[in-house]
Structures are given as structure tokens and as C-alpha cells.
Amino acid sequence: MHYDTLVLGGGIVGVSIAVHLQERGRAVALVDRRGPGEETSYGNAGLVERCSLLPVAFPRQLSALAAIVLKRYPGANFHWSALPALAPWLLAYRRFSAPDQLVATARIMQPLLDVTVAEHRRLARAAQAEGFFRDTGWVKIYRTEAAHAAEREEIPLAAEFGYKAREMSREEVLALEPSLKPSFRSGILWSDPDSVSSPGGVTKAYAAYFQEIGGTLLAGDAQTLAQDGQGWSVATAEGAAGAREAVVALGPWSMDVLSPLGYRLPLAVKRGYHMHYHAEAGAGLSRPVLDEEGGYAITPMLQGIRLTTGAEFARRDAPKTPVQVDKAERIARSLFPLAGRAEAEPWMGARPIFPDSRPVIGPAPRHRGLWLAFGHQHLGFTLGPATGRLLAEMMTGEKTFVDAAPFAATRFG
């Protein structure tokens, strides 16, 4: 079997790349060991975050760092055994979390983020997936004035980028989401983002559209990727598949393929968990709600109310330790009338992240015909279609809609 391009990875990023290339006339095979949208792209908060301004940062205040080290903050957890290997990455992450670096990263990412809603909506129309989408934005609640004041500093930057942020009293938030309990002080409504009722469902719908326009889905092991003459080949359930170009879009598993090829990119993972809950009779949400002080978000999904946790620093494949779910659930019950759990155990996934909180999008530095697209940190679902467009434009020689240089793998040496 021979194609123009092999795309390795069936998450939202890989599916979006495959769609954009197929739309441009390439013969594309999308290869994954599982079905589309069944790994990291399944388990997020369902946000299409056009106005995600400052990256999630390493804590700068000693009190915040102490709360994490002492495991008092439910939004973060870590495995002691993982810290020695993570130490160099964490030091680099801390360096990129300086205030001036965060603003610089926001300015680099903004042109890519600015198109995320429009790019998702275009694919959703083509894939007949618009029923998953809501244009109600999302709301962030604050339990203290200090927390609200810290977030208020982002509003001038949001206004500079043309995004809408409305500060709200507790009463205004409750009028917007009447099922919430008055256990908070205030909120901010971010109107620009969309949200979806099933990130995995959206990814599958985009993959189905990819097939409708002539693309091929193959079950295969990406770690069998090898150079084959002037191109690349990978083993699949239907035999060897070859192409002149290959794209590594495997999220947290990307370095499993690239390390044997000699690449040493500083990719780490932030593990995260979610659990679905039934709501008490008559209760519901019309948009995601983020309680950062509580370390969780709650989002209305097809499966129920999804509670997603913050970050866990651990080895990617270490056993689950879903203590954050239990901690966050106790706090969330003071905000929203959750009933019983809808699943036997929490879901766990891993967010791939570079220390500068930017993805790698572009050609592999030392291998002709090999392309990279991973490391989207907390914004993988958001950035999938925009990444697909950018990489497809690069691969087909089109003028790119944003400057791709800040996302080059060569920035790491």
C-alpha cells in the first residue's frame, strides 16, 4: 500500500492534519493503534479556547509552591519517584514562567489561537458535527478577591487581542448558571471560546469526514516507522504502508518514535484525570465552569457532568493515582449539585508539553520528508484544526497563515 503521506496519530491533531492534506489532494493514510479520538483527545474539558492568553505557569510564589509540595492544592500532584528525571525540564519550565516570558509566549501563540474557533467550525460544518458545539463561552469563578485580582491583570491583554472578558458579581454568575451554589465570590465570563459536548465524538466525526473525502484509516504501530528508500514505511494490520512523507502527531508518545531516530526534544507530560457525574434532578450547566482555586473544571458532556483535574507530574505510563479527582469532587460538590459517579473509575490521559509551552509544528531537522506536530500542552483539542491547516500549508508549499518559525523543532538546538 502506497500513499503520499502517512500521518501517525489519531488524536485531534493527527486527524486534522490528515483532513487538511486530503482536502489538498494528497493521498493520506492515518495510522493509529486505536480508533480516532480514543486517547488524549477524549479526556479534556471540551474547550475551543480562542482566548487562552497566558500559559499555565510554574508557581512563582513560595506559598503556591509550598501548597503543591505539601500536596494541599488539589490542582496539582506529583510522584516523588519521577522528580529526578523531570528536574531539568522543571527548571526550564520555571524559567519560561517568568512574567515577561509568559507575555512573550502569549504574543507568539495569539495568531494561532485567534483562528481556532473558526477552524473548528469549518471542519464541524464539513463533518456534520455542529451539534456537538456550543457558543456560550465559559466562566471562571473566584472564591477570594485576591484570586480575582490576579486574573484581572489578563483583561488588558485580552482587550489588546480583541477578546471579550466580562467581570461578574456572584449574582450575575448565578443568573447565568442558576444551578451553581453561592459558594464563590465573583467570576469572569469569557465569551469568545466555544465548547463541545464530546471531544472524542468531534474527533471521530472529523475522522469520518476524512474517510468520506478519500482518506484511509489504518490500525498500526507507529514505532515501526522506518525510512524506506526515498520515503517512509510503517507496519499496519493490512500490511506495510509506505509514503514519501510521514507526520509524527502522536502527542505524549511522539518521542517513542523520534528518540530511535536520534532526536532529543525536551518533551514532558502532565497527566490529568476526569470523572463523569450525574446531576441532581433539575440541575444543569450551559457552559464549562473553571474553579482554579479548587483545581478543577466542570463541563456538560453527553456522558454527564465531566470533572477534569489539573496536572499530575509522573512518568507517563506509571499506574493511576487519581487522588486529585477525590479532592476536587469534594470541593465541586460545594459549587454544583453533583449526584453519583457515572463511571466505575476515573479516566487518565497525558498532555504533552515543552518547557516553553509552545508546540513543535514543522519539518524534522535531520530527516527529509518527516514532519512533526505535537507538544500542544493544555490546548491540544483547541489547536488541532489550526495545526492541521498550518502544517498542511507548509507541506504543500502554500503561504502559511501565521509565521511558523516560533514552532520549529530547531529552537531546542
275 has pLDDT over 90: yes
Q: How confident is the model over 20-45, as pLDDT tens digits?
A: 999 999 999 999 999 999 999 999 99
Is residue 161 a part of any domain in this protein? no
Domain carrying residue 226: 2-41+200-266+356-412
Q: What is the pLDDT of residue 34?
A: 93
The model scores a pTM over 0.85: yes
* The amino acid at 63: S
- What band does 413 get if pLDDT is binned at 50, 70 and 90? confident
- What band does 360 get if pLDDT is binned at 50, 70 and 90? very high
Is residue 373 a part of any domain in this protein? yes
CATH number at residue 246: 3.50.50.60
Is residue 253 a part of any domain in this protein? yes
Q: Is 326 left (phi over 0), alpha (psi -120 to 50) or beta?
A: alpha
Q: Which residues contact 48 (CB under 8 A, 6 or more apart)?
A: 116, 117, 120, 133, 193, 194, 195, 196, 381, 382
Q: How confident is the model over 65-118, as pLDDT tens digits?
A: 899 998 999 999 999 999 999 999 999 999 999 999 999 999 999 999 999 999
Task: Tell me the mean pLDDT in the region 3-28.
Answer: 98
Is residue 342 a part of any domain in this protein? no
* Cβ 41 vs Cβ 200: under 8 Å: yes
Q: Residue 403 CB: number of other CB atoms within 10 A?
A: 11
Is residue 261 a part of any domain in this protein? yes
- Tell me the three state secondary structure of residue 54: coil
Helix (H) or strand (E) holding 299: strand 296-301
Number of domains in the chain: 1
154 has pLDDT over 90: no
List b or e across 371-389, with b for residues whose CB sees 16 or more CB atoms inside 10 angstroms: bbbbbbbbbbbbbbbbbbb
- What band does 1 get if pLDDT is binned at 50, 70 and 90? confident
Is residue 69 a part of any domain in this protein? no
Is residue 108 a part of any domain in this protein? no
Q: What is the pLDDT of residue 262?
A: 95
Is residue 79 a part of any domain in this protein? no
